[in-house]
């Protein structure tokens, strides 16, 4: 695949009016979410739930691509259709999470570095065989007293860049995800400073590793105050700070920025995305701004389904509605009254 082909895939992933469905939860993580709605964490239940997500009629109108987990990309629906084929049938680009999780960073208590580089070249070749066209790797940065350390930021930035280079070598578009966690009592000003430094280091390492920026997607966290901060930032403040951070750190060659929701509520994540796109329209920014949400798309799906097969269609409708609202937000065309109308329809 040439750089032009990588660029075309990356641009298709951030096509105007569409976003990315993150459904790459590990087996333990999805187990916690299933347990919360009274569903046992069995393979059959995981298949049933993921089938609801991917078989939602019309999903490809609002979702450009879907990030799968290693288990999912190897599985088929109960009817025997491989999940990657179901994704493609929906007009959605299939991708795969390839990191093996964040582990404790040596000599840096409370900080983590994401692992998974060992054997990655061979795994990427296998995922290409399954039909994957892009990959995702998540790094986590914690804000606390004397954190993050420079060692933590640099270790994660280096790993992200090495991963991205291997992806492009394998003709796969890398989603680069440096997540500054929302947990904590930090202010939006602290979030801004940490996010700027993190993203600067990430792009420095991407440059050093020879990654072609035209053939990648950035998946950052929004600049937002911590969940325990007594001075919570408003929607306009989050949008302004996040855009200012991007202007300080992200080269114009990057095709798009697909934000993670990072523990925000469903409506909150949509409001922030919408405000950013409304502001961006006045600034002529070089990148498309969209979403790559997991829980902010799936929360209502799980609450509706709760393991009841008779609720599958209703659960799919909940996903489609959430995807549509965020697609509108990616164009700056969302309004809160749409949210309230959707909630009334769900009831």
What residues act catalytically? 177, 219
Reading the block at residue 295, the tokens are 């829980």
Residue 103: how many CB atoms within 10 A of its CB?
Answer: 11
Main-chain phi, psi angles of 128, to 5 degrees? -60, -40
71-80 contacts at long range (C-beta below 8 A, 24 or more positions apart): 71/27, 71/43, 71/46, 72/23, 72/24, 72/46, 73/127, 73/130, 73/131, 73/132, 74/130, 75/43, 75/47, 75/50, 76/47, 77/47, 77/51, 78/44, 78/47, 78/48, 78/51
Cβ–Cβ < 8 Å for 212, 176: no
Distance (Å, rounded) from C-alpha 67 to C-alpha 57?
18
């Amino acid at each position: 695949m040439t750089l032009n082909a990588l660029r075309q895939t990356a641009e298709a992933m951030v096509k105007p009016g569409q976003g990315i469905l993150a459904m790459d939860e590990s087996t333990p993580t999805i187990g916690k979410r299933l347990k919360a709605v009274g569903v046992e964490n069995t393979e059959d239940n995981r298949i049933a739930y993921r089938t609801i997500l991917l078989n939602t009629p019309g999903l490809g109108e609002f979702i450009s691509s879907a990030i799968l987990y290693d288990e999912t990309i190897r599985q088929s629906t109960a009817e025997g259709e491989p999940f990657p084929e179901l994704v493609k049938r929906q007009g959605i680009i299939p991708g795969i999470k390839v990191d093996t999780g964040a582990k404790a960073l040596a000599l840096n208590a409370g900080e983590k570095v994401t692992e998974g580089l060992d054997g990655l070249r061979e795994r990427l070749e296998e995922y290409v065989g399954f039909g994957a066209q892009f990959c995702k790797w998540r790094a986590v940065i914690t804000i606390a007293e004397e954190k993050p350390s420079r060692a933590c930021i640099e270790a994660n930035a280096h790993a992200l860049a090495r991963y991205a280079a291997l992806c492009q070598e394998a003709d796969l578009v890398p989603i680069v995800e440096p997540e500054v966690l929302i947990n904590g009592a930090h202010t939006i000003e602290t979030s801004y400073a940490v996010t700027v430094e993190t993203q600067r280091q990430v792009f420095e390492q991407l440059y050093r590793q020879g990654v072609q920026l035209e053939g990648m997607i950035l998946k950052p966290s929004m600049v937002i105050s911590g969940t325990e901060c007594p001075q919570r930032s408003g929607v306009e403040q989050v949008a302004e700070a996040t855009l200012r951070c991007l202007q300080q750190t992200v080269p114009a060659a990057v095709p798009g920025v697909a934000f993670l929701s990072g523990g925000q509520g469903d409506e909150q994540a949509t409001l922030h995305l919408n405000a950013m796109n409304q502001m961006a329209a006045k600034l002529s920014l070089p990148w498309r701004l969209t979403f790559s949400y997991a829980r902010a798309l799936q929360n209502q799906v799980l609450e509706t389904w709760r393991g009841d097969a008779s609720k599958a269609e209703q659960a799919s409708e909940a996903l489609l509605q959430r995807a549509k609202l965020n697609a509108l937000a990616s164009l700056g065309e969302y309004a809160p009254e749409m949210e309230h109308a959707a909630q009334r329809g769900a009831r």
